[in-house]
């Protein structure tokens, strides 16, 4: 009888799980899966002589090689890559450093520091972009006076108005806003390390910075890997901060243009530029493929090697 009862209960359990997950699956399909495939499908069409026609990969060939489109696309892709690199080499190491400092049990006011560093992550992009434009303004911003107070006024420049500095400046503003996320994830990973491991290291005389680099850092490598891929996905989906700070044209002279702003101008149009949903879908498809390739490389090439460090 027990076997028969178990046999009957398994389909019942599966049915309950299916019913429980169905609403979430339907909502996710409606707002994610259907729009995704609709965009991929639309990228294969274009308007030819006033009629919608299937062009296959023609839109992508235009995007890559047509002088009218290629320059904007490759410029936006290069800027997007640089935006990501700044986050990787500045944001994540700072997040690791802050987490290591805050995990010290002897540090006073740790809760206050964690909260203060994490607060910018919950602020609106509009607020962050507007406030930093005011801070960095050469006319009424406080940055010149702050640098003057420490004798570094000569270093100030209208960074958001310089082609060579605007993108890096905005990337650093984004780092300031989101450094709390890697800090908190790594902080949690450090707290999850068993006390026995730390005590054994201390018995062997491994303490301080040596303990962090030889014991703790290898154990949190899986978390650092996850943070890295989240940084990659987030930066190649970026749009809001650039749009708020520099507008849809991502000035000066498109020096802060990234794939998100290029997609916006192409799909919806801007000022005298007419919207082209088909070319916009091609750009969106390229963004999806770039992110898909990056995530796949991480999942199949890096994560499997990091599993050896997991408990």
pLDDT per position as a tens digit, 248-289: 999 899 999 999 999 999 999 887 778 899 999 999 999 999
- To the nearest whole number, what is the mean pLDDT of the chain? 90
Average pLDDT over residues 214-230: 92
Residue 308: predicted pLDDT = 59
Higher pLDDT, 228 or 309: 228
Q: To which residue do tokens 């400092």 refer? A: 101
Higher pLDDT, 56 or 310: 56
Assess contact for 180 and 118: CB atoms under 8 A.
yes
By residue count, the chain amounts to 311
Burial 58-95 (b: 16+ CB within 10 A, else e): bbbebbeeeeebeebbebbbebbeebbebbeebbbebb
Average pLDDT over residues 214-240: 93
Average pLDDT over residues 19-31: 90
Ramachandran category for residue 175: left, alpha or beta (phi over 0 → left; psi -120 to 50 → alpha)? alpha
pTM metric for this prediction: 0.89
Q: Is 168 a residue whose pLDDT tops 50?
A: yes
Assess contact for 180 and 121: CB atoms under 8 A.
yes
Strands 51-54 and 45-48: antiparallel
The rounded distance, in Å, linking the Cα atoms of 202 and 208 is: 9
* Percentage of residues of the chain with pLDDT beyond 90: 63
- The C-alpha angle 75, 178, 141, rounded to 5 degrees, equals 80
């Amino acid at each position: 009888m027990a076997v028969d009862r178990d046999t009957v209960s398994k389909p019942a359990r599966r049915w309950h799980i299916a019913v429980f997950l169905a609403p979430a699956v339907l909502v996710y399909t409606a707002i994610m899966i259907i729009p995704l495939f609709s965009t991929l499908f639309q990228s294969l069409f274009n308007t030819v002589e006033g009629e919608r026609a299937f062009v296959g990969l023609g839109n992508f060939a235009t995007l890559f090689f047509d002088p009218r489109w290629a320059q904007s696309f490759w410029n936006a892709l290069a800027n997007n890559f640089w935006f990501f690199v700044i986050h990787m080499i500045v944001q994540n190491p700072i997040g690791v450093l802050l987490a290591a400092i805050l995990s010290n049990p002897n540090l006073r006011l740790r809760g206050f520091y964690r909260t203060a560093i994490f607060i910018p992550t919950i602020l609106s992009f509009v607020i962050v972009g507007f406030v930093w434009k005011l801070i960095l303004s050469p006319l009424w911003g406080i940055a010149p006076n702050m640098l003057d107070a420490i004798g570094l006024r000569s270093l100030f420049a209208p960074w958001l108005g310089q082609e060579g500095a605007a993108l890096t400046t905005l990337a650093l503003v984004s780092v300031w806003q989101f450094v709390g996320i890697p800090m908190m994830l790594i902080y949690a990973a450090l707290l999850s390390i068993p006390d026995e491991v730390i005590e054994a290291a201390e018995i062997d005389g491994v303490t301080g910075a040596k303990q962090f680099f030889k014991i703790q850092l290898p154990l949190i490598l899986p978390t650092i890997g996850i943070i890295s891929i989240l940084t990659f996905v987030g930066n190649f989906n970026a749009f809001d901060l650039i749009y708020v700070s520099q507008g849809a044209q991502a000035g000066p002279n498109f020096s802060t243009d990234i794939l998100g702003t290029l997609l916006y101008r192409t799909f919806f149009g801007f000022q005298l530029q007419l919207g082209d949903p088909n070319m916009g879908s091609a750009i969106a498809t390229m963004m999806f493929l770039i992110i898909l390739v990056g995530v796949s490389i991480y999942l199949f090439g890096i994560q499997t090697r990091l599993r050896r460090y997991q408990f």
